[in-house]
């Protein structure tokens, strides 16, 4: 590993957070200009970015180029939103000096930056959820300086993007204390979260790592929020009417969604549930055949591959139904009953990779029992036809209580970056279901309310 990727020392970690805590405030127009400049500089890197990211992650050029487009688009989306006044409104209670029995002062309530934010790069999105990804974009848009902990699986990619940010800061005259990049292992992340000047953490990754950061932040003498997106099984329900109308189409779409990115998406639909019928049996057989015909993809790292194989092997040992698994790392489909799925919590845990469990319910009541057994999820999907309305309505209500995004007649992979997107969900999908990590609403993770009472005219209150 090159010297420039050396593990950050405790002194460097402290210096980065200290500097962020003393960065001067930027106005909304200045933040917008910075975000646009970062997008420009990332695009200016050209093919070098795709080449290095491909070498480090084994992701194909088409996927990486698309991800770069998503990264620059979301930076520009925040810039445009800031220029439109997004998240900058005040709520005003006008003064009522003559009110009886007591006068009312003028009170203005606004949102202000929470302070320096630590962003942890994700393994599966080296651009869109990494150094200049959605967490960094939304934190900068909120007016919060950022310290990024680069993911060790793509340090060269992280360094290239960080240099683009530094060039954008220089171009726009932004104080250099607004951004820092740190390389290193788990210990670097631990020391970063422990820094007294840090005010929030953004993380995308495994439940184990996300929960460890959450617990660490809450053990501080001054606890801070951790906005951790930790994945889920993203249950997908195929109802009888939909299977009868378009079973083959559903099998093709489901297999495609399951295999997207070698199954390494947090919205991967890892559990498919249907009611016992010849049509649902045919659906499972069709999906299994499509997985069998699919090539074995290269996963992001040997560690992720090993973990996938271990979890898949554990599932194979637990289920008593069909096991379609030809060899390690191969796309896999397991089958089980609703009762077995409900009774064994291990079957409801994420298997990060191209594997799924098909769950067969005896009837609509057992279908609802499956929903009741689920923990919080990022997404839940229902495929239905007109004939399914009696089942679909209570199912949608119950499932909506468990997920952050409810999808009808579609597939959860392919998250739209926009104003209405909710990429989050009840625990354990995330540590705070009130917020999203995708789209413009992500900015509200890094803003806090401040009420200002009877402020004198002309006072500079830039925070």
Residues forming the active site: 229, 266
Would you state the structure tokens that stand for residue 424, as one six-digit string? 């989050």
The residue to which tokens 């530094």 are assigned: 166
Of 244, 255, 247, 204, the C-alpha closest to 228 is 204
CA 140 to chain centre: 17
113 and 142 Cβ atoms separated by less than 8 Å: yes
Beta 200-204 vs 226-229: how paired, if at all?
A: parallel
d(CA 240, CA 403): 22
169 and 86 Cβ atoms separated by less than 8 Å: no
95 phi/psi in degrees, rounded to 5: -65, 140
344 and 318 Cβ atoms separated by less than 8 Å: yes
* Residue 450 CB contacts under 8 Å (≥ 6 apart), including other chains: 109, 110, 111, 112, 463
Report the DSSP beta bridge partners of residue 453: 107
Q: How many CB atoms lie within 10 A of CB 207?
A: 16
| Element spanning 290, H or E | helix 278-293
* Residue 256 CB contacts under 8 Å (≥ 6 apart), including other chains: 411
SS (H, E, C) 380-415: EEEECCHHHHHHHHHHHHHHHCCEEEEEECCCCCCC
Q: Could you tell me the end-to-end alpha-carbon distance of the chain, in angstroms, rounded to an integer?
A: 40
Cα distances from 143 to residues 134, 226, 447, in angstroms, run: 14, 18, 8
CB-side neighbour CA atoms (13 Å) of 279: 16
């Amino acid at each position: 590993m090159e010297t420039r990727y050396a593990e950050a020392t405790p002194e460097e970690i402290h210096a980065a957070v200290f500097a962020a805590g003393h960065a001067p405030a930027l106005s909304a127009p200045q933040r917008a200009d910075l975000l646009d400049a970062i997008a420009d500089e990332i695009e200016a890197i050209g093919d070098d970015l795709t080449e290095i990211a491909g070498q480090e992650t084994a992701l194909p050029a088409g996927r990486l180029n698309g991800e770069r487009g998503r990264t620059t688009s979301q930076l520009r989306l925040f810039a445009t939103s800031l220029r439109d006044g997004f998240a900058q409104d005040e709520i005003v209670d006008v003064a009522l000096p003559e009110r009886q029995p007591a006068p009312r002062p003028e009170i203005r309530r606004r949102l202000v930056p929470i302070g320096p934010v630590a962003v942890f790069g994700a393994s599966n999105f080296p651009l869109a959820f990494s150094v200049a990804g959605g967490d960094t974009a939304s934190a900068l848009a909120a007016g919060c300086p950022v310290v990024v902990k680069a993911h060790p699986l793509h340090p060269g990619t992280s360094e290239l993007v960080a240099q683009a940010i530094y060039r954008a800061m220089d171009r726009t005259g932004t104080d250099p204390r607004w951004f820092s990049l740190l390389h290193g292992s788990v210990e670097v992340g631990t020391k970063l979260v422990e820094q007294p000047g840090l005010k929030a953490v953004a993380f995308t990754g495994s439940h184990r790592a996300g929960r460890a950061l959450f617990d660490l932040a809450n053990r501080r003498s001054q606890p801070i929020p951790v906005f951790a997106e930790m994945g889920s099984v993203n249950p997908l329900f195929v109802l009888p009417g939909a299977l009868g109308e378009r079973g083959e189409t559903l099998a093709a779409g489901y297999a495609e969604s399951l295999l997207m990115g070698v199954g390494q998406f947090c919205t991967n639909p890892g559990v498919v549930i249907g009611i016992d019928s010849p049509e649902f049996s045919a659906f499972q057989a069709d999906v299994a055949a499509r997985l069998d015909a699919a090539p074995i993809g290269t996963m992001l790292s040997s560690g992720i591959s090993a973990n996938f194989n271990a979890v898949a092997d554990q599932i194979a040992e637990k289920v008593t139904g069909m096991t379609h698994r030809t060899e390690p790392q191969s796309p896999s489909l397991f089958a089980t009953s609703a009762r077995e799925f409900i009774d064994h919590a291990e079957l409801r845990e994420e298997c990060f990779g191209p594997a799924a469990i098909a769950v067969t319910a005896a009837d609509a009541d057992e279908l609802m029992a499956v929903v009741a057994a689920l923990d919080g999820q990022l997404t839940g999907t229902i495929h239905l036809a007109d004939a399914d309305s009696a089942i679909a309505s209570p199912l949608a209500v119950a499932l909506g209580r468990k997920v952050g995004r409810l999808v009808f007649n579609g597939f959860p992979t392919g998250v739209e970056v926009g104003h209405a997107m909710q990429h989050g969900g009840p625990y354990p999908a995330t540590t705070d279901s009130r917020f999203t990590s995708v789209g413009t609403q992500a900015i509200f993770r890094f803003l806090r309310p401040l009420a200002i009472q009877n402020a004198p005219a002309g006072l500079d209150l830039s925070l």
